[in-house]
Amino acid sequence: MTTITLVQGDITRQSVDAIVNAANSSLLGGGGVDGAIHRRGGPEILADCRRLRASHYGRGLATGRAVATTAGDLDARWVIHTVGPVYSATEDRSELLASCYRESLRVADELGARTVAFPAVSAGIYGWPMDDAARIAVETVRAVPTSAQEVRFVLFDERAHEAFARQVG
């Protein structure tokens, strides 16, 4: 059985098998969680992303998909990059957001990861309302069969932590 835990803090400081990165489709770094992971993880992560992009994802990683790289200098074995959807008030994109969690757990299982740390995918600069992002994340993780023993949601601030706590119960 998978245990869901919540931590308020910095995802780049987590000691886990896999850290999930809320990446952009280019896989070449960006702002928010993505930028923090690339900065703290060092150049190995970017080099791995460039190799993946050159060999498989020339046009970028599709929204809702996930792929793994080294974790570089992070206290993890892998970084799983997933591309969350930009929130839209006029188009239901919740299935794409759920896919980020499903695909990341699928990749984690392929890698043999027993502990996985997730940020609140799409709830930062992509504008997804935090309460809804938390609901989709927790419901999806609970529904997906995984060999991970712990799924840890690492939330940057108190507001995000509280939104996820309401969903975990």
Q: Does pLDDT of 57 surpass 80?
A: no
Predicted confidence at residue 59, as pLDDT, reads 79
Give residue 96's domain range.
3-168
In percent, the amount of the chain with pLDDT more than 90 equals 93
Which residues are catalytically annotated?
34
CATH number at residue 141: 3.40.220.10
Q: Is the pLDDT of residue 36 over 80?
A: yes
Is this structure's pTM higher than 0.95?
yes
Cα separation, 22 vs 41, in Å, equals: 14
Count Cα atoms within 13 angstroms, Cβ side, for 40.
19
Domain count, the chain: 1
pLDDT of residue 74: 98
